[in-house]
Amino acid sequence: MNPSEIISKAKNIESWIIEKRRIIHRHPELMYEEFETSKLVQKTLSDLDIKYEKDIAITGVVGTIGNGNGPCIALRADMDALPIHEETDIEFRSEIDGKMHACGHDCHTAMLLGAARLLKENENEIEGTIKLIFQPAEEGGAGGKMMRDQGVLQNPKVEQIYALHVAGTMPTGTLASREGTLLAATSTVKIIVNGNGGHAAAPHQTIDPVITGAKIIVELQTIISRELNPLESGVISITMIKGGNATNVIPSTMELQGTIRSLTMEGILKLQKRVKELAEATAIANRCEAEVTFPGNDYPPTINNAECWDLGRSSAAEILGTDKVTEMSPIMGGEDFAYYTEEIPGCFSFLGVGNSNLDAIYDVHHPMFKVDEDALSLGTAIHVNNALKALQSLKN
């Protein structure tokens, strides 16, 4: 298929892609709970007569297309939603209170299912293997790491991997990415401040962990502003504070949680070290104790291979037009696609889904996040073109 044929075929199944997306959007599932989404993916692949393996990393699915006589590449989509209550007015809004596809993973899954349909219909043209990776738990669960560790990049060995992520602040019909580091390494921090509680009217008889916690929050910001090279990127954000149950009681403990970001793993380790040192020292200075941990996984930075971005850029330009594909600066968001590109070359790109006429003006992780669904067939077309061009490039 040439690019114009791919665009036409993707447009012809646009309503099918949108229907899949809306079903998933109505029934969002959090990380490692994507059982119904996984069943939808499995049924769709079965209906398309695509071989697949299921129950990888609990709910993950990997489909396989091609004759196996040549190189192997992979396309990846994530499936999990976020614990956010949807506030949009769309007719297919989330039917589950407190859960929403606010990061567009419903779009990612639907676009890849669309690509699966087109690639299967033209399987006779595919010399090699295309793996379709439907991954759980991108939102903090490191599902990419579990999928990788359970062998999705092996048998046959994947030589390159590609992924798309929708972007609400980019106009529909545009794509952006870059060579090298695109997204940050990330870590979670948890600080328990232990003091000695008592009556709020007698603070002198207590050791107040709330005041100490507040001081820690302020002091942590000086790591970025006074210890980090101004030309080096880093973030320390405390985003959760828990402590106390009554207005007239000083609690005995205070809990702080947040995120740490850097464009390198070395930077993450340096920031973690200083967070621990500063929190513990501040607590001691205020007669408290601080227990500092970094729970969960430390996500590596997402780094695009130069050759893969060259291919991805030219592939997207053939679908969208050269003027619609641009280079972007690194951003401090994180992505567990990085676990794949730690092992093999790959490219992660952002696809615009914004449209002010539809009030699709909010970025991901917002309760009002909307998508211009005209972008979905374009995403499918880019997936297909990426796959075919990558196989041809590796074959040559």
State residue 26's pLDDT score: 98
State residue 123's pLDDT score: 96
Query: pLDDT tier at 23 (50, 70, 90 boundaries)?
Result: very high
Q: What is the mean pLDDT of residues 312-322?
A: 98
**CA distances to 203, 291, 383 from 198, in Å:** 7, 21, 60
Contact 158, 73 (CB under 8 A): yes
Burial class from Cβ neighbours inside 10 Å (0-12, 13-18, 19+) for residue 82 reads buried
State residue 166's pLDDT score: 98
Contact 152, 62 (CB under 8 A): yes
Q: Taking the model in full, what pTM does it have?
A: 0.94
State residue 343's pLDDT score: 97
What are the start and end residues of each CATH 3.40.630.10 domain in the chain? 3-181+301-395
The domain made up of 3-181+301-395 has a fold known as: Aminopeptidase (3.40.630)
At residue 234's C-alpha, the angle toward residues 343 and 149, to 5°, is 20
Query: pLDDT tier at 395 (50, 70, 90 boundaries)?
Result: confident
State residue 283's pLDDT score: 98
Q: What is the mean pLDDT of residues 314-320?
A: 98
Burial class from Cβ neighbours inside 10 Å (0-12, 13-18, 19+) for residue 75 reads buried
What are the start and end residues of each CATH 3.30.70.360 domain in the chain? 185-293
The domain made up of 185-293 has a fold known as: Alpha-Beta Plaits (3.30.70)
For residue 387, the surrounding DSSP H or E stretch is helix 374-395
Token readout for 165 is 């992520």
Share of the chain above pLDDT 90, in %: 98
Q: What is the mean pLDDT of residues 27-56?
A: 98
Query: pLDDT tier at 254 (50, 70, 90 boundaries)?
Result: very high
Q: What is the mean pLDDT of residues 331-348?
A: 97
pLDDT, tens digit, 9 for 90 and up, residues 197-208: 999 999 999 999
Token readout for 182 is 């695109």
386 alpha-carbon distance from chain centroid: 20
Closest CA to 390 of 86, 72, 167: 72
pLDDT, tens digit, 9 for 90 and up, residues 46-93: 999 999 999 999 999 999 999 999 999 999 999 999 999 999 999 999
**CA distances to 150, 151, 290, 297, 307 from 145, in Å:** 8, 10, 31, 9, 23
State residue 48's pLDDT score: 98
pLDDT, tens digit, 9 for 90 and up, residues 153-177: 999 999 999 999 999 999 999 999 9
State residue 115's pLDDT score: 98
State residue 214's pLDDT score: 98
The span from the CA of 379 to the CA of 377, in Å, is 5
Query: What count of residues does the chain have?
Result: 396
Query: pLDDT tier at 396 (50, 70, 90 boundaries)?
Result: confident
Q: Which amino acid is at 135?
A: Q
Does 156 sit behind a cis peptide bond, omega within 30 degrees of 0 on the bond before it? yes
The span from the CA of 341 to the CA of 125, in Å, is 27
Share of the chain above pLDDT 70, in %: 100
Average pLDDT of the chain to the nearest whole number: 97
- List Cβ neighbours of 116 (8 Å cut-off, separation of 6 or more): 44, 45, 48, 50, 63, 65, 132
The SS3 call for residue 303 is strand
